[in-house]
A and B are shown apart, each in its own frame.
With several copies, the nearest count.
Chain A
Amino acid sequence: MLDVYKIREDFPILSKKINNTDLIYFDNAATSQTPNQVIDVISDYYKNSNSNIHRGLHSLSADATDKYENARAIVKNHFGISNSFEVIFTSGTTHGINIISSGLEKELSSKDELIISEMEHHSNIVPWQMLCDKTGSKLKIIPMNSDGTLNIDKYKLLLTPNVKFVFVNHVSNTLGTINPIKEIIDLAHLNNSKVLIDGAQSAAHFKINLSELDVDFYVASAHKLCGPTGVGFLYGKSELLDSLPPYQGGGEMISNVTFKQTEYAELPHKFEAGTPNIAGVIGFGAALEYMNSIGFDNIEAYEKSLLDYATEKLKKIDGIKIYGDINEKISVISFNIKDYHPSDIGSILDQFGIAVRTGQHCTQPIMDHFNIPGTVRASFSFYNTKSEIDLFTDAVEKATSMLG
């Protein structure tokens, strides 16, 4: 397993004090913390390599370009992608989804149907609603069971011949549910539907091989993977990416510009218009290398042990209700206690230096499903400890008695 106390030394923020007590950071599903190995790479970029890429032939530009393209190779290798040019750097998951949704505008008509699920993040709902508004296509919803899993039988029924695309998250950010995406993808492909997987919550917790999954599109954000803000990637099978129009016009995405006609550049540049987040992309590469140096198997096993420990302890609290208390989940626990408002619990936990997220977690349909205003969500990462969980459950009990 992993040596959590050694790992914690890599994360300067973990020794921070909040309200005069040690910070306990359990908001990892919103954003993960950043190790020195990543912070230093970013600083080092600005101190030694900062330059605009791809277009310059001086040494600094060549150096920055090599580092940037090296990060693309790291992403490619880590996610089992066949070709580097199938990795498009984005500003995050939301951006990646919007590249696809705006690209599909011309391909869809009012007889087409799209499928999403009831447990999607708003970023994987709103773009498809906007797309359906424009094209007249129909949005169909895979319902969620009350245990927080998807109803796959209903999914099969929804998969009618008119369904062109299926958009599902790999892991629910609110419930932690790991969805059976291999089955979802295979069923879709049998139906000639293409699949986009929102990997915002999965990429940080276990290793994923996109070639084996045979997924058509996959998106994720670096800031949930120990990486910097403002960067993420979109993977797409090259023949599909080739068939999409470019998302943005600008420098770098074109190969020839005249006022009569403009030719678009090849992948991946076609989708990377303008100066990209160069430092961010390089930091993203460093983050993946860092996590791999710890080992995703270790991360997965350790986080599972944290989840089991916390779940067991929380269940002992009077009046608690955990949403999505199942086996196949990552280290996220969403709960409410009695009829206390989640923000009341969150505010009190904050006084104990404990950062959890409260509210709807950008998943209003899940809240509507359970008919609740929100949840308290504690999400653990490989740098959290069991003793932090002890302090957390103690604090939850104290909050309950204050509110009671």
Chain B
Amino acid sequence: MKSIQQIQNEIIDEFNFFQDWSEKYQYLIDLGKTLPAFDSDNRIDSNLIKGCQSKVWLNSSFNNNIIIFEADSDAIISKGIISLLIRVFSGHKPEDIIESNIDFIEKIGLNSHLSQTRANGLLSMVKQIKIYALAYQSKK
């Protein structure tokens, strides 16, 4: 299993291939389209991440000391971004997630999505993922 940092580096490498922002966005859109949608059972308020302009639902399960994340959104670019987040975080141990330093978003040039703006909420997503990790760790 690759480490969180290794996966981030992979993503950064992939994005380095793109010539301009429109290729990056097209890639995110395509990722968003391929990420399977939640069944409506999981599109519930308790899974909703606060502080996103688009709705983002995040679901997680914990088995064998490993967290599996699933997510969905009603906006396609958000879906693309969360599919990257899932790729980075899902399948890792709580402690690795907690300690991870997420820099790929900035490095692939999505920092405008990283602002303090509550509407964007990319920060909220990362925060929520870490909160899950903390919760699972303390349950152990």
Query: A residues touching B (Cβ–Cβ < 8 Å)?
Result: 19, 53-57, 59, 61-63, 65-66, 68-69, 255, 266, 269, 340-341, 343-344, 347-348, 350-351, 358-359, 373-374, 398, 402-403
Interface of B is mostly: loop
Tell me if A56 and B117 are in contact (CB < 8 A).
yes
* B119 at the binding interface (Cβ < 8 Å): yes
List 22 interface pairs A-B (beta carbons < 8 Å), by A numbering: A55-B117, A55-B119, A57-B53, A65-B115, A66-B116, A68-B116, A255-B50, A269-B118, A340-B76, A341-B74, A341-B76, A343-B78, A343-B119, A344-B75, A344-B77, A344-B78, A359-B53, A373-B55, A374-B53, A398-B22, A402-B29, A403-B29
Tell me if B112 and A62 are in contact (CB < 8 A).
yes
Tell me if A59 and B112 are in contact (CB < 8 A).
yes
Tell me if A358 and B53 are in contact (CB < 8 A).
yes
Closest 7 CB pairs of A and B: A62-B115, A341-B75, A69-B116, A343-B54, A65-B117, A65-B116, A343-B75
Tell me if A343 and B53 are in contact (CB < 8 A).
yes
Chain A contacts for B119, CB-based, 8 A: 54-57, 343, 359
Tell me if B77 and A343 are in contact (CB < 8 A).
yes
Chain A contacts for B112, CB-based, 8 A: 19, 57, 59, 62, 350
Name B25's contact: one of A269, A348, A359 (CB within 8 Å): A348
Report the bound CA distance from A68 to B47 in whole Å.
29
Smallest beta-carbon distance B37→chain A, Å? 13
Chain A residue with the shortest CB-CB distance to B80: A344
* B120 at the binding interface (Cβ < 8 Å): yes
Chain B contacts for A403, CB-based, 8 A: 29, 76
Chain A residue with the shortest CB-CB distance to B20: A351
Chain A contacts for B78, CB-based, 8 A: 341, 343-344
Report the bound CA distance from A307 to B26 in whole Å.
31
Tell me if A351 and B25 are in contact (CB < 8 A).
yes
Task: Decide: A341 near B54, CB < 8 A? Known: A54-B117, A66-B116.
Answer: yes
Tell me if B117 and A53 are in contact (CB < 8 A).
yes
Chain A contacts for B18, CB-based, 8 A: none
Report the bound CA distance from A119 to B117 in whole Å.
25
Task: Decide: A62 near B117, CB < 8 A? Known: A350-B112, A373-B74.
Answer: yes
Smallest beta-carbon distance A84→chain B, Å? 10
Chain B contacts for A374, CB-based, 8 A: 53
Smallest beta-carbon distance A307→chain B, Å? 25
Report the bound CA distance from A124 to B53 in whole Å.
22
Tell me if B76 and A62 are in contact (CB < 8 A).
no
Known: A55-B117, A61-B115, A373-B55. 19 other contacts (CB 8 A): A56-B117, A57-B53, A57-B120, A62-B117, A63-B115, A65-B116, A66-B116, A266-B50, A340-B76, A341-B75, A343-B53, A343-B75, A343-B77, A344-B29, A344-B76, A344-B77, A347-B25, A350-B112, A373-B74
* Of listed B29, B50, B53, B118, residue having the most chain A CB within 10 A: B53
Report the bound CA distance from A188 to B96 in whole Å.
45
Chain A contacts for B50, CB-based, 8 A: 255, 266
Chain B contacts for A69, CB-based, 8 A: 116
Smallest beta-carbon distance B20→chain A, Å? 9
Chain B residue with the shortest CB-CB distance to A348: B25
Report the bound CA distance from A359 to B52 in whole Å.
10
Chain B contacts for A55, CB-based, 8 A: 53, 117-119
Report the bound CA distance from A66 to B25 in whole Å.
23
Smallest beta-carbon distance B115→chain A, Å? 3
Report the bound CA distance from A385 to B21 in whole Å.
26
Chain B residue with the shortest CB-CB distance to A54: B118
Report the bound CA distance from A269 to B51 in whole Å.
12
Tell me if A66 and B115 are in contact (CB < 8 A).
yes
Chain A contacts for B115, CB-based, 8 A: 61-63, 65-66
Smallest beta-carbon distance B45→chain A, Å? 10
Report the bound CA distance from A359 to B74 in whole Å.
12
Chain B contacts for A255, CB-based, 8 A: 50
Chain A residue with the shortest CB-CB distance to B28: A347
Chain B contacts for A269, CB-based, 8 A: 118
Tell me if A57 and B117 are in contact (CB < 8 A).
yes
Interface set, chain B 96-122, CB cutoff 8 A to A: 112-113, 115-120
Interface string of B74-99 (1 = CB under 8 A from A): 11111000000000000000000000
Report the bound CA distance from A208 to B26 in whole Å.
47
Report the bound CA distance from A42 to B76 in whole Å.
37
Smallest beta-carbon distance B55→chain A, Å? 7
* Of listed A62, A63, A266, A398, residue having the most chain B CB within 10 A: A62
Chain A contacts for B74, CB-based, 8 A: 341, 373
Interface set, chain B 26-56, CB cutoff 8 A to A: 26, 29, 50, 53-55
